[in-house]
Amino acid sequence: QVQPSINSRRPTCIRLYSDNEPSAMSTSTALYNISMFGFLPHLRSVCVEYVNWGFDDLFDQLRLAVFPPRVENLEVRFKYTGPVLEMLAGRLRRSYARRCSPTWTIPGVKRLTVSGAPTGFVADLAWTCPNLEMLDIDEPGSLLWLAPLPKTFRTLHLRIPERGEGMAYKWRLGEAVNGGLFNQSKT
């Protein structure tokens, strides 16, 4: 691990997006090469982890627009290093307002796992997965953002924080189910 010198320290910040950040571009490039050239024909899971990033890059830069068709499991993680960045990320989560209609889909994805992102982001990403069967999320605000999910959707896995008393009420779980979270479900 390399420690920055006192003179080279940058201000604590979260990168909102970047069209030419090498680490982010490598994600798009790798997925493109795997998809277009048939590399890794047995690849079934992809995990994209953003460290100290906002939530816009994935959609603004079309990071998943070309996605390996055989991949069934997609995980997207957002992590923040330190209490100041965690606080800033919390503000970004609360202010997330995108309700996009991406021009791309990832039909092979049946299981989507998202951590550290706002529920609106999860909904936007879930809508790109028309054959989604299972959604695994943490920190949902209101689950009403997710309804309705595709007809193929069967399982919602909620990771409850340590002090999760009353979370079903906060997440508006009953309203979301009544609003069609589980498309035409009777139970």
**142: closest CA among 160, 169, 162, 166?**
169
pLDDT in tens, 73-103: 999 999 999 899 999 998 988 888 776 677 8
Predicted TM-score of the model (pTM): 0.82
Is the backbone of residue 184 left (phi > 0), alpha (psi -120 to 50) or beta? left
Q: Which helix (H) or strand (E) holds 125?
A: helix 119-126
Beta strand 73-79 with 155-159: parallel, antiparallel or unpaired? unpaired
pLDDT of residue 175: 78
